[in-house]
Amino acid sequence: MTSKAFRIGGDLEVRRLGFGAMHLPTEAGPARESSLAVARRAVELGVTLIDTAYLYGGGANEELLAEALYPYPDGLVITTKVGVARSGAQGEWRLDGRPAVLRTQVEQALRRLRVERIELLQLHRIDPETPFADQLGTLRDMRAEGKIGRIGLSEVTVAELDQARGIVDVASVQNRYNVLEREHEPVLTACEHAGIAFVPWRPVAAGASGAESAIAAVASEAGATPTQVALSWLLSRSPVMVPIPGTARVDHLEENLAAEKLHLTPAQYATLDRLHQPT
């Protein structure tokens, strides 16, 4: 039977089906009120891992989650990401892993989320213009200061993961992965061997699942939606898989979380296993 929980870093237990907050509108008005309702409903339905990032509105998404959920219930983990900043020549977003930038973004996230420690802090991307050891060293130092509980990475290769593990303990990896896009299969395998949480972003192929005839056929057979089929496949694919499907609608949120109860047949899983779109 598929486990419903995973211990990130070996000790931080979360429900394996989390919530990605990236799509929640943050501007004032009815859209923001709807976003607050979605975040609160996610927690009501038992979500214990919510993913955000500084990139999502320059911290506005973090502020939204704090407004919706603070004071946080016991067991709720809000993970955020740093390492992208408006530091381009024209003020555009760019990868920026300079130690001072990372430190400032972590400090700001602590204030916005209204916490003293971020239990899981992920490096959004590796900045190729800053030594990797300096980027991870900054996060390691902040962990030693008690401001970060665990360190994760995003969009890394197996070689980069190996390099990182020589510098810090890596608790999670957040790469793009779904039933149709599996270029990071080797990274998933490496995470399995090391007991590292694999947190796939775009877990349902941005809506493409419903357009794939094999997924649609399995969904019809199972009396489920293509999105639920795609999420069920992820949960069964690996015990370290911790999907974070995102939505700005309560009905879609409820649909996503119901995937945890969907049990496909071995033949149906085999059909999905054979799907793959090379990139």
How crowded is residue 24: how many other Cβ atoms within 10 Å of its Cβ?
25
Strands 19-20 and 12-15, sheet pairing: unpaired
Q: At what angle do helices 132-144 and 158-165 cross, to 10 degrees?
A: 50
The continuous run of DSSP H or E covering 179 comes out as: none
User: Looking only at Cα atoms, what is the longest distance across the chain?
Assistant: 54
Active site (annotated) includes residue 177: no
Nearest Cα to 168, choosing from 198, 191, 139?
139
Distance in angstroms (rounded) separating the CA atoms of residues 224 and 216: 9
Catalytic residue among 54, 56, 72, 269: 56
Distance in angstroms (rounded) separating the CA atoms of residues 43 and 40: 5
How crowded is residue 100: how many other Cβ atoms within 10 Å of its Cβ?
9
- Burial grade of 71 (CB within 10 A; 0-12, 13-18, 19 or more): exposed
| Phi/psi at 12 (5° precision) | -95, 95
The amino acid present at 92, given as its one-letter code, is E
Residues forming the active site? 56
